[in-house]
Amino acid sequence: MGLVESGKLPKPLTNLLNISRKYSLWMYQWGLACCAIEMAAVMAGPRFDVMRLGVIPLPASPRQADLLCVSGTVTDKMVPSVRRLWEQMPDPKYVISMGSCANCGGPYWDSYSVTKGVDQVIPVDVYVPGCPPRPEALLEGIVLLQEKIANEDMAEKWRGDPIVVS
């Protein structure tokens, strides 16, 4: 409606939008390594069940996703694909970096083929530490992200540089 882009969004409407976005996150899974198993336990396991937090796992395409969960070791060969799928996601989008490998390289800090931190190529909102993090840790990361979304000013986020999707 142009309100968000012009920064004239009334406060109650912002809150309403934030609440709706907070509880309808479509989580695109980027299962790369060991952490993918814990992420799968969160997404498909009956014990942890991420859907009760309002997160819907496994959208068919990154174009339908709001949240990217990079779980596992990102290698130098993989980085172009990570960047490309992140670019295909529509705004507003959020990234959770799960596990030590995606955060900083983890146990492969001196490896020749591992990217030391996915934040070198895409902006990360929440870091979940651990090798691999327990499923509960990922759930807490999602809750923290939801808190962040609830207190977000949409207009502030929108007024940055235009985003070019290749």
Partner 1 sequence: MTAVTEPTEQDQLAYVAAKAADSRVNVELETDDGMTLNIGPQHPATHGTLRIVAKLDGEQVLWAEPIMGYMHRGYEKLVEVRTYPQVTTLINRIDWLGSFANEVPFILACEELMEIEAPPRAQYIRTVLHEMGRISHLIMGVGDMGVQIGALTPMFYAFRDREYLLNQIEAATGGRFHPNFDRIGGVKDDLPAGWIAETTRIMKTMTAFCDQMDDLLMGNEIFEQRTRGIGVIPPELAQLYGLSGANLRASGIDWDLRRDSDSPMAWKHADFKVITHTDGDSFARTWCRLQEIRESAKIVTQLLDDLPSGPIMAKVPRIIKVPAGEAYVATENPLGEMGYYVVSKGDLGPFRVKIRTASFSNVSIVPWILRGVYVPDIITILGSLYFILGDIDR
**Shortest approach of partner 1 to residue 163 CB, angstroms?**
20
Contacts made by residues 146-154, CB under 8 angstroms, sequence distance 24+: 146/22, 146/23, 146/25, 146/53, 146/54, 148/94, 149/18, 149/21, 149/22, 149/94, 150/18, 150/19, 150/22, 151/18, 152/18, 153/14, 154/4, 154/9, 154/14, 154/17, 154/18, 154/92
Cα gap 83→126, rounded to integer Å = 17
Binding track, positions 38-77, relative to partner 1; x by CB under 8 A = x-xx--xxxx----------x-------------xx-x-x
In the block, tokens 């808190």 appear at: 147
Binders of partner 1 in range 77-136 (CB under 8 A): 77-78, 80-81, 84-85, 107-108, 110-114, 131-132, 134
**Shortest approach of partner 1 to residue 140 CB, angstroms?**
16
**Shortest approach of partner 1 to residue 97 CB, angstroms?**
16
Query: Using the rule CB under 8 A, is 31 a contact of partner 1?
Result: yes
Could you list the residues that contact partner 1 (CB under 8 A)? 29-34, 36-38, 40-41, 44-47, 58, 72-73, 75, 77-78, 80-81, 84-85, 107-108, 110-114, 131-132, 134
